[in-house]
Amino acid sequence: MGNRVSLEDEMVNLRIVSKQMQRSAKKCEKNEKASMDKLKKAIQKGNHEGARIYGQDAIREKNQALNHLRMASRIDACSSRIETAVRMGQVTDGMQGVVRGMDKGLASMNIDKISTLMDKFEQQFEDLDVKTQYMEGTMNATTATSTPAEQVDSLIGQVADANNLELGEAFSEAGPVGKKAPSVKESEQAKPVADDLEARLANLKN
């Protein structure tokens, strides 16, 4: 019985961490909105450097929010699998092995450490609905530390268009942003990666 209780305790911990991840995502979304407001003001003032910085901040916060939401979803899926295993009496030695030292990993709120923990748990389940490879690919796509210049330029152009703002000479001198509003192709540059991941997910489900 002791083993079952420890796994059940960890399921409670997993749910707590999932909620924390969701709260972190909401905080990142608020930060993104604040950065977008600053970006708009920077464009109005013709402050190119400020606009680029706030554009990078907004994109980073958005990616971080998605990152935390995906991890929350992954934790919930794993917790549900563990709950089923406990209920059906299918707890394996492997699952028990993962539980050891799990508290520290969860308490750290470190995405990489928690991701590694989820990897270990997911390896215990052969029939996961969403394969680890897909989740890792999405996580890696959203944790890139650098923000592509084209993405920032595109965001600045979109904010300017949405608010009927003219991009002044400072933007023209600095590069592609001020020459013209971003075309549909530019603003959709990130789509192929997302589409590819969605297609892979659909194949996994089928």
Where do the domains of the chain lie? 7-109, 112-159
**How many residues comprise the chain?**
206
The pLDDT tens digits for 113-151 are 888 888 877 777 754 444 444 555 555 555 555 667 788
Q: Which residues of the chain register pLDDT less than 50? A: 1-5, 127-133, 176-190
- pTM score over 0.85: no
User: What's the CA gap between 185 and 70, in Å, rounded?
Assistant: 27
Question: What b/e sequence results for 119-145 when a residue is b if at least 16 CB atoms lie within 10 Å of its CB, and e otherwise?
Answer: ebbbebbeebebebebbebbbebbeee
Instruction: State the chain's maximal CA–CA distance in angstroms.
Output: 72
Check residue 36 and give its pLDDT.
Answer: 95
Check residue 177 and give its pLDDT.
Answer: 45
User: What's the CA gap between 205 and 119, in Å, rounded?
Assistant: 19
